[in-house]
Amino acid sequence: MSNEPIRSAPEERLVNLVVALLATEQGLTKDTILSSVSGYREQAAAGASKDALEKMFERDKDSLRSLGVPIETIGDYADPDDLREARYRVPTSEYSLPVDIDFTPAEIAVLNLASGVWGESSMSASARSGLRKISALGIEVDAPIIGYAPRISLRETSFAPLQRAIEQGRVVEFDYIKGGSDAAHRRRVQPWALVEYEGRWHVYGFDLLQDAERTFLLSRISSDVVVTRISFDLALRDGAGEKVITGLNALAERQRARLQVEPGTEAALRLSRRAITADDAGCLVPYVDAQIFADELASYGPEVRVIDPPLLVDLVVARLRRARDLHGVVA
């Protein structure tokens, strides 16, 4: 038999962590999490150091918070800044419905249908095992945890190998199609962080062929991700997620589109949420990637008219013309 440890997928470990943090109102210590939650427990049994497990936990916390999961840190009541014995939890109140909400019979039918898909049976065996172990420690579980699928479905298949490469500190190689180009180029990258921004996943790291830090959209990776045997200093990952988010925010601050949007349309619903200002002259929407934003705007058809900047106008018009030519529409 092989002595190779069984590794759970990173996304399943994140689900197991959420399930555990929802299971108790008083919270769990880091030591309890690392020894009880599936994904960490197996790594510890395989000989992973406590320092490595703690860093994995810190990165997982950052990943979940970037996805909107409200992980609370509860310090010592006498000294809230002392986090040596801190406890972590996801407050169930964040997921509870107000008591004054009523549902119609039709809405109840839809919820019942959904519960058949997202019921307790959808939890993985590892997640249920983690809850049993936590209960065995004498920590009261407030209520059955339902509604969590055993794995997160991601459109980009590159996510899982990139996450493993980040955890192991390994260089990766992949083909990448830069925005505005049809040709793919080989990249050799030290991956430091995976971040979600404006609903899209990015990997941030150091491009060894370009000798520079770069951010890559996972949706533009056009080949399998090859995790090499070449390692890099794990300290390079520290603070990388915060750095790339700060950089993307700064880029969006510099790039703003003036749009005329038809009221009451899907475009109005989606774009109004991201608009900085809206008046008779149109709405001002920040964006990071002109090519991807042009794809989105073109998909709305006549619901949106781009006023500024000129480059974005040209990109959207080019896409609409291609669509017209493809379908043989006569102007």
Domain that includes residue 285, residue range: 255-327
Q: How many domains does the chain have?
A: 3
Handedness of CA 168, 169, 173, 177 (dihedral sign): positive
Q: Is residue 192 part of a domain?
A: yes
Q: Is residue 2 part of a domain?
A: no
pLDDT at 58 over 80: yes
Q: What is the mean pLDDT of residues 86-110?
A: 67
End position of a domain, from candidates 103, 136, 169: 136
Better pLDDT: 57 or 93? 57
Instruction: Please indicate, yes or no, whether residues 301 and 192 belong to a single structural domain of this protein.
Output: no
Q: Is residue 116 part of a domain?
A: yes
Instruction: Please indicate, yes or no, whether residues 237 and 260 belong to a single structural domain of this protein.
Output: no
For 153-207, how does the pLDDT look when each residue is reduced to its tens digit (9 = 90+)?
A: 445 789 889 988 998 899 999 999 987 777 889 999 999 999 888 778 899 999 9
In terms of Cα–Cα distance, which of 5, 58, 69, 1 is closest to 30?
58
| Dist CA 237 CA 256 (whole Å) | 30
Instruction: Please indicate, yes or no, whether residues 83 and 127 belong to a single structural domain of this protein.
Output: yes
Instruction: Please indicate, yes or no, whether residues 38 and 121 belong to a single structural domain of this protein.
Output: yes
Q: Is residue 84 part of a domain?
A: yes
Q: Is residue 168 part of a domain?
A: yes
Q: What is the DSSP letter of 23?
A: S
Question: Tokens 């109102």 map to which residue?
Answer: 25
Distances (CA, A) of 225 to 24, 136, 174: 38, 41, 5
Q: What is the mean pLDDT of residues 278-294?
A: 87
pLDDT at 47 over 60: yes
Better pLDDT: 137 or 11? 11
Phi-psi region of 301 (alpha: psi -120 to 50; beta: other; left: phi over 0): left
End position of a domain, from candidates 206, 241, 276: 241
Q: What is the pLDDT of residue 84?
A: 66
Least confident of 17-31, 76-90, 316-330: 76-90
In terms of Cα–Cα distance, which of 233, 103, 255 is closest to 168?
233
Instruction: Please indicate, yes or no, whether residues 54 and 130 belong to a single structural domain of this protein.
Output: yes
Instruction: Please indicate, yes or no, whether residues 271 and 304 belong to a single structural domain of this protein.
Output: yes
The helix/strand/coil state of 111 is: helix
pTM, two decimals, is: 0.54
Helix (H) or strand (E) holding 230: strand 226-231
pLDDT at 94 over 70: no
Q: What is the pLDDT of residue 1?
A: 39
pLDDT at 97 over 80: no
Instruction: Please indicate, yes or no, whether residues 38 and 128 belong to a single structural domain of this protein.
Output: yes
Q: What is the mean pLDDT of residues 56-72?
A: 81
Instruction: Please indicate, yes or no, whether residues 206 and 305 belong to a single structural domain of this protein.
Output: no
Q: Is residue 228 part of a domain?
A: yes
Q: What is the pLDDT of residue 7?
A: 44
| Dist CA 52 CA 166 (whole Å) | 12
Instruction: Please indicate, yes or no, whether residues 236 and 259 belong to a single structural domain of this protein.
Output: no
Instruction: Please indicate, yes or no, whether residues 131 and 54 belong to a single structural domain of this protein.
Output: yes
Q: What is the CATH number of the domain that holds 222?
A: 2.30.30
Instruction: Please indicate, yes or no, whether residues 95 and 20 belong to a single structural domain of this protein.
Output: yes
Q: Is residue 5 part of a domain?
A: no
Q: What is the pLDDT of residue 122?
A: 43
The percent of residues above 90 in pLDDT, for the chain, comes to 27
Instruction: Please indicate, yes or no, whether residues 48 and 106 belong to a single structural domain of this protein.
Output: yes
End position of a domain, from candidates 75, 102, 136: 136
For 22-44, how does the pLDDT look when each residue is reduced to its tens digit (9 = 90+)?
A: 877 788 888 889 888 888 888 77
- pLDDT-derived band at 150 (thresholds 50, 70, 90) equals very low
Q: Is residue 246 part of a domain?
A: no
